[in-house]
A and B are shown apart, each in its own frame.
Chain A
Amino acid sequence: MPIFNFNNIKITGMACAMPSNITKTESFKDVFGADEVDKFMLMTGITQTRRTSKHQTAADLGFTAAEKLIQHKNIDRSEIGALVFGTHSPDYRRPASAFIIHKRLGLSIDTAVFDISLGCSAMVYGIQALASMMSSSNIKKALLIVGDTAGKTTNPKDRASIMLIGESSVAILLEKTEESSPIVSLMRSDGNGYKYLIVPAGGYRNLEASHENEICHDGIERNLHNSMMQGTSVFTFTITDIPRLMKDFWQLTNTTVDDYDCFAFHQANLYILQQIAKKLKIPVEKMPLTLSKYGNTSGASPIVTLCDAFGEVEGKELNTLFCAFGVGLSWGAFSAKINTSDILPIIEDDTFFEEGVINSMREL
């Protein structure tokens, strides 16, 4: 299995940006009925989410988080040798959105820039990809940005998803260090589950996909351009494969649940996290949760949670175990030492890259 060890790469900063617009879950009672919404809140723990405006994208939020991080850490932009953006909500079919962020941050042309097309697991894979690049190059500093705006492709009538999804992006700074600061990561994938979380249209497979709504097997109205989640399949995968991954990780690293101060897990929903914590005997006080405030913010969620929990905490060293899982199917974990002084509080931002809104080919 692919397990990676990095001994000289350190996470030295993280920031999170999210829109100010709050949608209260209770507001859906008029649409889906009080009983349905109450049950949803009980199971998922989600009482509100944040949503971007029409033209604001995950890249905009990622830019804001990265800009704040660069300024806060007083980073020389010319030293950033790689920029990776993990997202399923790109600005365009091409180019990759990482290039838009690269331009806006004013980074050097001596920067390796690309997107990783992943959702909930993007942060784990992004760390692995960047740390691998840094280990085999002269790159001293790199930026990982992760974020999604999945609400934009969710049908408003999709009660399974519309109340679940929050929107946010995070930025993570990686630096080469002389001190021993191990990052260990383990990743898995199962393409057999490619239909469990999917937006069927928008790619090159079916360029003429209909926008007409139809009733799906679960009785919910959607069209081919909407997100579709087979919730029961995703849940079943999660409660089986995530505990297995963690147990394998502990065995391979010769560690136990007691060796970690903090479990920064993908905020899928409360019931899933409670089941995983129970199976792995993770003390609840070591697993911060932000579902009630921000919902499921896809790949950004472990960092959203750290920024929320530790953004105002100075100088605490946390041996942290990150774990993320979702669309693909894709899942993985990594461990790293994090100093809470490197975690910035959550930033609210509603701005967007106006130049990037292209309404006519004649603008190009």
Chain B
Amino acid sequence: MEKLLEILEGIRPDVNFENEKKLIDDGLLDSFDIVSIISELNDEYNIAIRVTELKPENFNSAESIMNLVLKLKNSN
């Protein structure tokens, strides 16, 4: 989780990723942020996030992003 928070804060240092639960629903992240996050996650965790995973619920919080990463890592 620490590594993930480091990645997210590197992309948007102004967002409190530890507490925010509606990153997408509240419009805190824009599409450029999402593509940067996807790219970093793919590289860091050696996963391939597909279009079908682009649901708000997968990106609304650091916890949900971590769950997505773990799900994809386990299915590899």
Contact = CB atoms under 8 A, between A and B. Distances in A.
Contacts of A239: 38-39, 42
B32 A43 contact: yes
A235 B38 CA distance: 9
A169 B44 CA distance: 39
Interface string A36-51: 0001100100000000
A90 B35 CA distance: 32
B31 A160 contact: yes
Contact of A271 (B27, B35, B51): B35
A232 B35 contact: yes
B7 interface: no
Interface string A226-264: 000001110111011000000000000000000000000
Contacts of A43: 32
A231 B54 contact: no
Contact of B51 (A40, A160, A219, A237): A237
A275 B34 CA distance: 14
Contacts of B51: 193, 196, 233, 236-237
B48 interface: yes
A236 B50 contact: yes
A232 B42 contact: no
B35 A235 contact: yes
A232 B34 CA distance: 7
A28 to B, nearest CB: 15
B35 A240 contact: no
B39 A232 contact: no
A218 interface: yes
B35 A236 contact: yes
Nearest to B35: A235
Interface string B36-50: 101100100000111
B54 A236 contact: yes
Interface of A: 39-40, 43, 160, 193, 196, 218-219, 231-233, 235-237, 239-240, 271, 275
Interface residues of B, number: 14
A240 B48 CA distance: 7
A232 B38 CA distance: 9
* A interface, over-half SS: helix
Contacts, number: 39
B9 to A, nearest CB: 17
A236 B32 contact: no
Interface in B38-71: 38-39, 42, 48-51, 54
A271 B31 CA distance: 13
A317 B39 CA distance: 35
- A-B CB proximity, top 10 nearest: A235-B35, A233-B51, A231-B31, A232-B31, A240-B48, A236-B51, A232-B34, A43-B32, A275-B39, A237-B51
A267 B36 CA distance: 18
Instruction: Give the most central of A219, A233, A235, A236: most B CB within 10 Å.
Output: A236
Interface in B2-48: 27, 31-32, 34-36, 38-39, 42, 48
B30 to A, nearest CB: 8
Nearest to A234: B51
A40 B35 CA distance: 13
A218 B32 CA distance: 13
Nearest to A235: B35
A125 to B, nearest CB: 22
18 contacts: A40-B32, A160-B31, A193-B51, A219-B27, A232-B34, A232-B35, A233-B51, A235-B35, A236-B35, A236-B38, A236-B51, A236-B54, A240-B48, A240-B50, A271-B32, A271-B35, A271-B36, A275-B39
A190 to B, nearest CB: 9
A300 B14 CA distance: 39
A237 B32 CA distance: 15
Contacts of B48: 240
Contacts of A218: 31
A236 B31 contact: no
